[in-house]
Amino acid sequence: MPKNYTYTDAGVNRAQRHESKKQLSSLKETYRHIGFGGIMHLPYSNLFPTAQDTFLDLQIEGVGTKVLIAELADKYDTIGVDAVAMVVNDIIRSGAKPLALADNIHAVASEPKLVQAWLKGIIEGAEQSECPVVNGETGDVAEIIRGIKPDSGFDMVASCIGSVERKDIITGTGIKPGDSIIGLASSGVHSNGITLVRKILFKQWGGKYDASDIPEGLEREVVLEALEPTKIYVKPLLTLAREVKVKGAVHITGDSYTKFNNLVNYSAGIGFCFDNFKPQPIFGVIQRTASELGYTITDEEMFRTFNMGWGFGIIVDKTEIDKAMNTLEQAGYAAERIGKVTDRERTVEIEHKGKHMILT
């Protein structure tokens, strides 16, 4: 019988990560240094005030092992989009507008052509976010960084600061059963679950395919499919927030749909049911290839690890779903209603291809 293969088997211990995150509570000791007001805690952010009704949201994010996919493809001009996307998509969860970006790249060697390619992607991400890159740093740390090629190994991180007025903050409160969940389409795997993707799809890490192979179901090389940049949701989210009240905003990244349970701490007694999925072909290729290698990646594991076609989730009152969808459609953004809020507390349900799943 094939062995179940999970994100933990690929090398990312989800349970250990959750336990480690408990240590973050020690950072609260530093809050006494806030010079004005106090920290505002939100489902996915902590805001700090700069004036009576103005708050800043500061986020930092990395691209993770997707940088290895860029090395494998020998293509470095899109990975910067991912770095920007991961951080600005986190900023907007609070309703904040990105104000400024900074990047940090640690590399085996800051070879000029590599730096030019890295910055090309960062600039493209900044353009899509309408946010300037005001600072950054590139360090040569060959003794720390190891890539898959002699001189091209690197790690990429971006930070962003955004601003939001008190009246516009997406607090995660007031969500109730029956409210609608809108999904903004992803472009594929984005920058999460990449360790599992690598271990299943690429011979470089023990998987099935050479980088240039085109598996059945894909229309281009598998390495380019996996490298497709993360979508940036700044414009659709902020456009929608100007027209309707957004009760909750979720960047569907690590832990995927189970991330919605963070909202239960701010709106008690709710759960979530998702019943509309249009995953890109690469997700089916991952699952099928695992089977061909003698493993089973369950449907539940797919929905715990990957975005499965929706990169961002927005919760609005059920009375405003039509207005919300019209707003997004008229603005040209790919969005659909993907589920609803239920009264089954902390229960994340998935309805897909006639199968009912509960994610734990």
Instruction: Give the CATH number, domain containing residue 158.
Output: 3.30.1330.10
The pLDDT value given to residue 151: 87
Q: Which of these three, 168, 194, 216, is where a domain ends?
A: 168
Give pLDDT tens digits for 281-292.
Answer: 999 999 999 999
Q: Residue 35: its pLDDT value, please?
A: 76
Mean pLDDT of 146-172: 95
pLDDT in tens, 89-135: 999 999 999 999 999 999 999 999 999 999 999 999 999 999 999 99
Q: Which of 168, 192, 227 is the last residue of a domain?
A: 168
Q: How is residue 28 written in tokens?
A: 């609260």
User: Do residues 112 and 204 share a domain?
Assistant: no
Q: Residue 249 pLDDT > 80, yes or no?
A: yes
Regarding whether 190 and 70 lie in a shared domain, the answer is: no
- CATH number, domain of 190, equals 3.90.650.10
Residues 271 and 332 in one domain: yes
Q: So what's the pLDDT on residue 41? A: 96
Same-domain check for residues 261 and 127:
no
**Would residue 26 count as lying in a domain?**
no
Q: CB count, 10 Å around CB of 346?
A: 16
**Residue 259 is assigned to a structural domain of this protein:** yes
Identify whether residues 62 and 107 lie together within a single domain.
yes
Confidence band of 1 (pLDDT split at 50, 70, 90):
low
- Specify the 3-state DSSP secondary structure of 17: helix
Mean pLDDT of 238-243: 98
* pLDDT tens profile 25-47: 898 889 888 877 889 999 999 99
Residue with tokens 């995660």: 172
Q: Rounded distance, CA 292 to CA 270, Å?
A: 39
CA–CA distances in Å: residue 217 to residues 188, 220, 230, 285, 304 = 14, 9, 21, 7, 23
pLDDT digits (tens, 9 = 90+) for 314-360: 999 999 999 999 999 999 999 999 999 999 999 999 999 999 999 98
Please check whether residues 43 and 67 belong to one and the same domain: yes
Return d(Cα 198, Cα 215) in angstroms, integer.
Answer: 14
What angle in degrees, to the nearest 10, is found between the helix axes of 66-73 and 194-201?
Answer: 40
pTM of the model: 0.96
Q: How many domains does the chain have?
A: 2
Mean pLDDT, rounded, of the chain:
96
Backbone angles phi, psi at 255, to 5 degrees: 70, -5
Task: Identify the domain containing residue 248 by its residue range.
Answer: 180-359
Burial of 141 (0-12, 13-18, 19+ CB in 10 A): middle
Length of the chain: 360
